[in-house]
Chain A
Amino acid sequence: MSLEADLYQEIILENYRSKKNRRRIESATLQAEGANPSCGDDLELFLSVHDGIIVDAAYDGVGCSICCASANLLCDSLHGRSIGEARSILEGFKGMLLEDSVPEFADDISDLEAMQGVKHYPVRIKCALLAWNTLEGLLDGVQ
């Protein structure tokens, strides 16, 4: 087990560096801020939902590579999905990190599994979950 193999894999570093979803959506229909007070990571999550479908997702803010990679993957995974599907992806992701459950993500979002190694580093789980906990708060507000 090495940090490079578990945490800093190429796929995570690519998502960390990616600027694709790192932006603000001025016309977002849902928007929330999430922060980890212990480390100063601070993100804003933006969703554009039309007719129950997430047509765009983005994040902005500051965070470590794990936090930002996870946020980028989250945004990618939500494109074109319904609120219901988003809830089940969220559940799968949190289960993967918190309950050791075996993830069953659709093929087009199987990159999410790259975050699995984070569970070996308890102090970094909160980094990986920041965007997802923020998403959970947003979805809880949607009927």
Chain B
Amino acid sequence: MKQSTFYSPSSSGLDLSELRAQFPILKRSMRGKRFSYLDNSATSLKPEMVIAAEQRYYTELSANIHRGVYEFSEQATVEYDQAREKLARFVGAGRNGSIIFTKGTTESVNLVAYGWARKFLGPGDELVTTEIEHHANLVPWQEACKATGASLRFIPVDPDGSLRLDELDEVITERTKLVAVTAMSNVTGYMPDLSRIIEAAHAQGALVLVDGAQYVSHHPVNVSSLDCDFLVFSGHKMCGPTGVGVLYAKNEILEQMDPLIYGGDMVTKVRRDQAVYKPLPDKFEGGTPNIAGVLALSAAVDFLSEIGMQRIAEHEHGLLEYMVERAELVDDLVSYGPTELGVRGGIFSFNYGDVHPHDAGALLDQEGVAVRTGFHCAQPLMRVFGVTGTVRASVYLYNTTDDIDALIDGLKRIKDVFG
């Protein structure tokens, strides 16, 4: 395999060695080799300051929020509320929208599926999604349709996994009440033209939910100019901890929605037979939230903002181009997704010869390379590609061309075993 240098990490202006030094796990080796982490679509690594923020809550505050009258509880409450404001600024939410903390993207989707869709959809209504969605942005809608009698429709998909947006008008009609679409495919990195979809939906009076699980951690986002009605994403894919996620939604919609979780901390008055709920956003956050996780996510936002989302996006795009160019020189490697890289984030899915993805992944692991193998919670898209699974390499701000070289060079070991 020919070595080539198409991309220099310095072109994005990131000091990679300084950045990488902030991620303790990058000091580890895996299977005795340099650790090449290329499974960022599954979860990101965590920098020291995020880990420290999570620990600091337990060592310095450790108090519940919204309840105590003592100093540490007040401080925890203030910091929790500040985290909400920080997340709002991070995604460009104006005064007309709110941030609701959940345990992740999946819960955020379910909150809308239960609190909005099941309340407002009925027979004759249509919910539009796509075949490129993660199961988290499909299964809740299947169930909501079953429960309400609404129908599920799909924006047509091309064989390369991109959406046929010129046929939007045939799918999004006056019967459409909600369009649920990903901002970036977790299999191919394909990023559909959201503005076009949102415009078409709003023209028919439909709301739009954007699954930002893969996008928000890698690109600048502004929900106010995008004008989406809901945005869902996870903390753990953006250098934050597991167990915390976000639902952004417009306030006028949140006001009409029902909570998903009922109980303490979301009520103002409770009598034997009924209760009055708190105003936004608290009515959606019943029970003690993941306070440590929210404070650590807040630190993650500081970390990302300091670097700059645009620089992160540019760095990853450079890595994607490098990966594609190196992969093109490998015989028997088939990749998936649009060939136009301008519409793709830093995800590269492929198969190598007729080697099963799990076998490929297991041998790459021996080379210290962490990739994801299988159907990536996107079985409908696997059917579009006519495969049962793929090997997926996905990059983040700390990846370098060395990681991609380790992946491509690791293919040799697969060839040695499977011929």
Contacts and interface: CB of A to CB of B under 8 A. Distances in A.
A62 B389 CA distance: 10
Interface residues of A, number: 19
A127 B358 contact: yes
B268 interface: no
Nearest to B389: A40
Of the candidates A4, A8, A63, A127, the one having the most CB atoms from chain B within 10 angstroms of its own CB is A8
A42 B358 CA distance: 14
Contacts of B359: 8, 64-66
What does DSSP make chain B's interface, helix, strand, loop or mixed?
helix
B397 interface: no
Interface residues of B, number: 17
B37 interface: no
A4 B358 contact: no
B62 interface: no
A62 B363 CA distance: 19
Contacts of B356: 63-65
Interface string B365-387: 11000000111000100100000
Interface in A1-30: 2-4, 7-8, 13
B389 A3 contact: no
B362 A40 contact: no
A22 B238 CA distance: 44
B69 interface: no
Contacts of B373: 39
B362 A7 contact: yes
Contact of B374 (A2, A40, A121, A124): A40
A38 interface: yes
B389 A124 contact: no
A143 B357 CA distance: 39
A40 B417 contact: no
Contacts of A7: 362
A38 B417 contact: no
Interface of B: 356-359, 362-363, 365-366, 373-375, 379, 382, 388-389, 417-418
25 contacts: A2-B366, A3-B363, A7-B362, A8-B417, A13-B417, A13-B418, A39-B358, A39-B373, A39-B374, A39-B389, A40-B374, A40-B375, A40-B382, A40-B388, A40-B389, A41-B388, A42-B388, A62-B388, A64-B356, A64-B357, A65-B356, A65-B418, A66-B358, A66-B359, A124-B362
Interface of A: 2-4, 7-8, 13, 38-42, 62-66, 121, 124, 127
Given A63-B356, A66-B359, A121-B362, 6 more contacts: A7-B362, A13-B418, A39-B389, A40-B389, A41-B358, A64-B356
